[in-house]
Structure 1
Amino acid sequence: DLTRLCELKGRNLEAITPEEYEQMARSHGLDHLPDFPLNDSLPLVVEKRLKVAGDLYLEMGNSGYFLKLPQTEFAKLVANGSEADFCVELDDFTPNTDDRMAIESSVKRFTQLRIKRRLEETLEMPPLPETAEKIIQLRIDPDAGVGELAELVEKDPSLAAQVVSWASSPYYAAPGAIRSVHDAVVRVLGFDLVINLALGLALGRTLELPKEGPHGVTPFWDQSVYCAVTMEGLVKAMPSERRPSLGLAYLSGLLSNYGYLVLAHIFPPYFKVICRSIEANTHVNPHLIEQHVLGIDRETLASQLMDCWSMPEEVIQALRWQNYPGYQGDYNLYARLLYVSNQLLRSVGLIHGPVLPISDRIFEELGLEQEDALHVINHVVAMKDELRQMARNLEG
């Protein structure tokens, strides 16, 4: 709990940047700094519960191995440090059972901190963009075709340019030049993917990107692109009889971190606190840190906003439950695919966050072999430069 530690020490502490971390490690001739003090000149604070624990297990960098340390040896290592109570048990965090109530409760906490307006005024969320609203209407029209989709997207020149640029990316290796939205649909991406891609891009422009996020975190559009194409690859690798909608899976990936934008928009005074806490707890899932600081996480906020905007239920549930692979409710397949996509991307360092195991049961429920998933993520890694360029085009 970084806020608690700052209060105890009477200082405004921040985690060092990834670049400073690497420099410090190199100064000791290491690739990664171990989880015990190397320099007696630096102040050391030890969580007091560690001093009464039995054997301790220290992570050895990113190797997946741990060093077993008896309490007697640990006590010698931290003998010069002071003791304090500043950590929170991760087991204390459980998903909310009522998302709307959780949001109201969280906002009520800030009302007590002199935020005097009602919930709707406090949220101050923008309305659904007109283009996105029309795309949603087109999605549910059984008679809609390529012509109607192309006409709608091309009414928004910026959106049309992004769709054409996306289809023209070397990632899709389309033969010849892609000159129009019609080309993008017919020759490269298909109707289902383009209509959901256009919807995701339209929503992505609704909220501004935060100017200051956590150090070392993957930029928003980079993460969106990586996750979308990973979702696409996993769905295509699934047996045809188990495959969900490719377009909705793609859209879920594209919007997977939309809650990050919502969080910064709704709680700007506390966004910086969350960012600093994420930097200081790289081993902890960000949604747990947000629950601790705010009582609500980005995924809950994003899913509730998507519900207000009448987005597809598949996307709402995918965003809400992407951190819970055991979720068995409606449209759990999309949530599970998003969990696997995020963990695969973390495992190769393309997005930020602790790497958690993907059980054989999850692969079995998706109808995938572990080799299938590795093939998908290896392809994403091989094309990361092309994907980053796609993200830069979206930022522009």
Structure 2
Amino acid sequence: MAAAARVEQFLNRKGLAFELVTVSEDPRGGLEAAVLGDGIDRRQVIRSTALIDVNGVLLVVHPLDSSPDLDAIAERTGRRLQPLTVTQAGRLFSDCAPGFVPPFGSAYNIPVLVEESLYQADRVVMACGSSSRLMIMAGREFRLAMAGSEKGHVTIRHSGQTANSITLEEVAEKLQKLYRLPPMPALALKILNLTSNPEASARELAEVIEYDPSVTAQIIRYARSALFNYPGQIDSVQEAVTRVLGFERVAHIALGIASVRAFDIPRQGPLGMDQFWRHSLYCAFVSQRLAPQCGVDTSLAYLCGLLHNFGLLLVGHLFPTEFEELNRLRAANPEVSMRALEQQVFGDSDEQQMLTVGHGVIGGILHKLWQMPDPVIKAAGVHQQMDYQGDHKTYVTMVQLANALLKEKGVGDEFNPDDVGYLAEQLGLDTGNLDRLREDVEQVADDLDSLAHSLSS
């Protein structure tokens, strides 16, 4: 694929010169991955973000290392716009690869708002609709292409240098030295100790959990849910263990509920506690369903899915101001990877630059300090690394595949497309397996949503 057909038609009609350069094709990572992978000067790269309200779509064109300021745009346009969903963008830019939307709104009959600093550029690099090529234009040609567009200061910030190479041990050392990391809550620690004792009984687990009325109520609610269709009445944790859920599943869901109490983050937003629980429960469910097909422990797979995103909670707990900005950036840029947004928010501070390694690594460090099982540590720590090859790879890949499938439902903390087929192949699964997984998720979606709402409130 060269440039998108509409883009080439538009530029040729205008008589504007441009150059196409080949980049390493990685549709999973979008524009960000194309730029990082081929050594292009990020300062010259521009991005297009499509926003929508009841009056239609607006295309915002801005530097790569910035994001639309929805408040500033609302003040300028009088419109309260929100990012398009992946599905909406796919329909509107049907001749473009996902994540490679070009800035030429006129080619699609869409009005454009341009960050005015771009009008000073001598040269710009941009998506042209293809996942294997980028377009280069001289500043003059770009300004002519943007004729008729509005311009203004419409971005949140211009930052985001890539972090220097830093080892996991250095990140862990700096985190513990600079910040006070939350200890594992006492109830969670007791539950974790019980799970490591092969002689522990259902009665002992119930006694530990029932010291906490809130966790008790959540476990009973979980056992009574339509997820399990148990025909009888469940009135105690011990009944939930022995009749419906089993020892390990009760222990793991209680461990998750108790562990979350170590963190204080807002409920709202795509990274807030409401969406955290929704994402975690869905991922745990899918990971658990994948486990028998992949020959690994079902209960451990559930725990990997449930706890894989704890790094976001730690980031929100330690850095509430930055987390608020990250939450806003996530809402405004659904097609951008979390790694890119984390680099943007934390890349300027010398002390915080280690956080540009991603929330996954941070979560893995926390799980290691809390002495979680090794597969849980690894699934959290490297779930953002699609090319991971190492210990407990099967658990990691299951979580990655679960996240990729859940993106199709709008569940998760990012929506840049993943290569579902590649991940499935790594686990020895085919399209039939994936279709059955999707059907399983659809059948329990309402129950998982209800349970997530209950856990976050």
TM range (shorter): 0.7 to 0.9
Counting aligned pairs with the same residue, the percent is 29
| Mapping of residues 54-69 of structure 1, within 5 Å | 56-57=128-129
How far 1:24 sits from its partner (Å)? 9.6
How far 1:166 sits from its partner (Å)? 0.8
Tell me the C-alpha RMSD between the 2 structures: 4.2
Q: Give the counterpart of 1:205 among 255, 258, 261.
A: 261
Say if 1:373 and 1:96 are closer, same or farther in 2 by CA, change over 3 A. farther
Measured in 2, the distance between the counterparts of 1:360 and 1:273 equals: 33
Q: Give the counterpart of 2:372 among 292, 301, 311.
A: 311
How far 1:327 sits from its partner (Å)? 1.1
Say if 1:23 and 1:256 are closer, same or farther in 2 by CA, change over 3 A. closer
Instruction: State the partner residue of 2:39.
Output: none
Q: Which has the higher strand share?
A: 2
Instruction: State the partner residue of 1:110.
Output: none
Say if 1:165 and 1:75 are closer, same or farther in 2 by CA, change over 3 A. same
Counterpart amino acid of residue 341 in structure 1? A
Measured in 1, the distance between the counterparts of 2:73 and 2:224 equals: 39
Q: Give the counterpart of 1:183 among 239, 242, 256.
A: 239
**Are 2:429 and 1:357 equivalent residues in the alignment?**
no
Measured in 1, the distance between the counterparts of 2:308 and 2:430 equals: 23
Measured in 1, the distance between the counterparts of 2:111 and 2:192 equals: 60
Instruction: State the partner residue of 1:115.
Output: none
Q: Give the counterpart of 1:253 among 285, 300, 305.
A: 305
Give the structure-2-normalised TM-score: 0.67
How far 1:231 sits from its partner (Å)? 1.2
**Are 2:456 and 1:395 equivalent residues in the alignment?**
yes
| Mapping of residues 315-326 of structure 1, within 5 Å | 315-326=376-387
Give the structure-1-normalised TM-score: 0.76
Measured in 2, the distance between the counterparts of 1:312 and 1:171 equals: 26
Measured in 2, the distance between the counterparts of 1:24 and 1:54 equals: 20
Measured in 1, the distance between the counterparts of 2:84 and 2:431 equals: 36
| Mapping of residues 270-289 of structure 1, within 5 Å | 270-289=322-341
Unaligned 5+ segments in structure 2 are: 1-42, 47-61, 94-100, 347-352
Higher alpha-carbon deviation: 310-319 or 74-83: 74-83
> Is the 2:83–2:331 Cα contact (8 Å) retained in structure 1?
no
**Are 2:447 and 1:386 equivalent residues in the alignment?**
yes
SS of alignment partner, residue 398 of structure 2 = helix
Q: Give the counterpart of 1:78 among 128, 146, 160.
A: 146
Say if 1:55 and 1:353 are closer, same or farther in 2 by CA, change over 3 A. closer
> Is the 1:172–1:188 Cα contact (8 Å) retained in structure 2?
yes
| Mapping of residues 1-396 of structure 1, within 5 Å | 20-21=80-81, 32=92, 35-37=103-105, 42-45=113-116, 46=118, 53=125, 56-57=128-129, 76-79=144-147, 98-102=167-171, 119-120=176-177, 122-211=178-267, 213-214=269-270, 219-236=275-292, 238=293, 242-294=294-346, 295=353, 296=355, 297-358=358-419, 360-396=421-457
How far 1:151 sits from its partner (Å)? 2.1
> Is the 1:232–1:249 Cα contact (8 Å) retained in structure 2?
yes
Unaligned 5+ segments in structure 1 are: 60-65, 108-118
> Deviation string for 1:233-274 (max 9, x for gaps)?
2224x0xxx422212211121122222211111112322232
How far 1:79 sits from its partner (Å)? 3.5
For this pair of structures, how many residues does the alignment match? 362
> Is the 1:218–1:351 Cα contact (8 Å) retained in structure 2?
no
How far 1:340 sits from its partner (Å)? 0.4
How far 1:319 sits from its partner (Å)? 0.4
Measured in 2, the distance between the counterparts of 1:194 and 1:48 equals: 60
